[in-house]
Amino acid sequence: MTGKVVLMGAGPGDIGLLTVKAMETLRRADSIVYDRLVDSSLLAARKPQCKLIYVGKEPSHHPIPQEEIEQILVNEARNGGLVVRLKAGDPYVFGRGGEEGEVLYDAGIPFEVIPGITSAIGGLVYAGIPVTHRDYASSFHVITGHLKKGHDPLDWQSLARLEGTLVFLMGMTNLQAICEKLIRNGRSPETSVAVVEWASRSHQRSVVGDLTSIHEIVQKKGIHNPALIVVGDVVKLRPKLNFFESLPLFQQKILVPRARAGESKLARKIEELGGKAVEYPQIAVQEQPLPKSDVTFSNLRSYDTLIFMSSESVQYFFENLLAKDKDSRDLQHLHIVAVGIDVLKCLQGKGIQADSFCPRRSVQLLLDLQGEAWQRGMHILLVGSEELVHTFAEQLTRHAYVTPLPLYKEVRTTCKSFNLAEYNAICFGSSTTVQNLLTVLTKEEQQVLAQKKLFSIGQMTSQSIRDNGFTVHQEAKKPSIDEVIQLLIDDVKGAVLA
């Protein structure tokens, strides 16, 4: 059976600008054919068995010709399943999405298009430049700056006369020629111009000049592709509207070692403040199917306490519960314990209020929570990842009868292109994150780590850092994400003043 292709726009760079529909489709994709400018973080949303096909192009260097890319889409679709063609920006704004759609139509392949935010609008927003403004520009024009040698299809006289904003995409190699042709055809040499490199990403850089000076400024600052060129008076609004480059962690690349799968609140906060947070090592969740002989769900009456160790454990538990023709009514006799706020919320999403709440994974907190009940010989069903349930079961069996129920496992993977030297700081959120990072770093990488600024969320984490031979740069006075974030902000301010 023939599959389907989705031509999808990833937006200008910031992964948060991906549409809801696009993210949902990425998670269902059987194969993803992606470009060079697509942020690799988006690919983390894919399912484990999803096939990745890189077809990246660079200016004047196309290792995989367009015709071959189109054939890849056709072949992948004919293998069945859902194929995503993931492009930066919008597929139909100089993204050759229209050409690919035509090829798919001619080949009889069903396809759909999910628009993305074009960098011609979204990228400029992140540089503090609106494409239109009532006082400066009532129209905008998006133009390809990629001109073929010996062939210039643009009407420069008309472009120079336009009073609206001119946005040139893929025009860096022709920047000087673009400025000269606009001036030669009547545009004022003093017209404001801005060039924005890596728009909407934490390492974005922007420079401003006019038609006579911008090329020299770009050369001095070393601005390169990918970059946007914007010509017009709207550039003058940048000092007032430049919200992104004013964020306190702008241009800070921060490593957030991971303790487990799932989104890190610390990483999300760093990105909200303009930084680039990279979670490492990558941790994927793999479901652990129960053996056919397993009788756990048939014997729920034999337990009096049910402890959920993670939000994933809730999801997989209820999937198995329904598969056994049971539902929440079979849990009425159980004392349900939620470990962590995410678990509490996940249970509420299933229509269940936990009887007890443990704020974090701690054997002592669980013992204190249940009090004297431990001495009465509790029968506990402990649900979580393979590693979690066996670790906690080993300690809890001294106080109660514990049955570990591992419904998934967490698999750590490393990135071949990982370069620790690129990071401004490393933020450890627990002792586990220290151990997880050190287990995947080579000796050479650990030597680089020793030269970096290491931030710790609290005393226990700091002790783990020191026990492994490293120095703590800053430790939060209170063990909270907000405290760690403030340490980062103060450190950046201190470096600027120095």
> Alpha carbon of 56 to those of 34, 59, 61, 203, 323: distances in Å?
7, 10, 10, 20, 43
Q: Which pairing describes strands 425-428 and 253-257: parallel, antiparallel, or unpaired?
A: parallel
Question: Would residue 35 show up in a list of annotated catalytic residues for this protein?
Answer: yes
What six digits make up the tokens of 376?
């009465």
Instruction: State the catalytic residue, choosing from 35, 210, 304, 342.
Output: 35
For residues 103 and 112, is the Cβ–Cβ distance under 8 A? Answer: no
Beta bridge partners of 7: 85, 113
Order of strands, sheet of 165-169, starting from the edge strand that comes earlier in the sequence: 140-144, 165-169, 227-231, 192-197, 205-210
Are 305 and 276 spatial neighbours (Cβ–Cβ below 8 Å)?
Answer: no
How far does the chain reach from its first CA to its final CA, in angstroms? 64
Separation CA 352–CA 334 (nearest Å): 12
Q: Following CA atoms 450, 203, 118, 135 in sequence, which dihedral angle do they give, to the nearest 10 degrees?
A: 150
Integer Cα distance of 241 and 114 in angstroms: 29
Consecutive H or E run containing 464: helix 459-467
Contacts of residues 414-419 at CB distance under 8 Å and 24 or more positions apart, as own/partner, are 414/280, 414/281, 414/282, 414/440, 415/280, 415/282, 418/280
Contacts of 200 (CB under 8 A, 6+ apart): 11, 12, 13, 14, 17, 119, 122, 123, 125, 126, 244
Distances 476 to 248, 270, 447 between C-alpha atoms, Å: 18, 16, 24
Output DSSP code: residue 122. H
Catalytic residue among 39, 47, 51, 57: 57
The H or E element that residue 230 is part of is strand 227-231
Amino acid occupying residue 289? P
| Residue 352, φ and ψ in degrees, nearest 5 | -125, 130
- Whole-number Å distance between alpha carbons of 137 and 394: 68
Residues marked active site are found at 35, 57
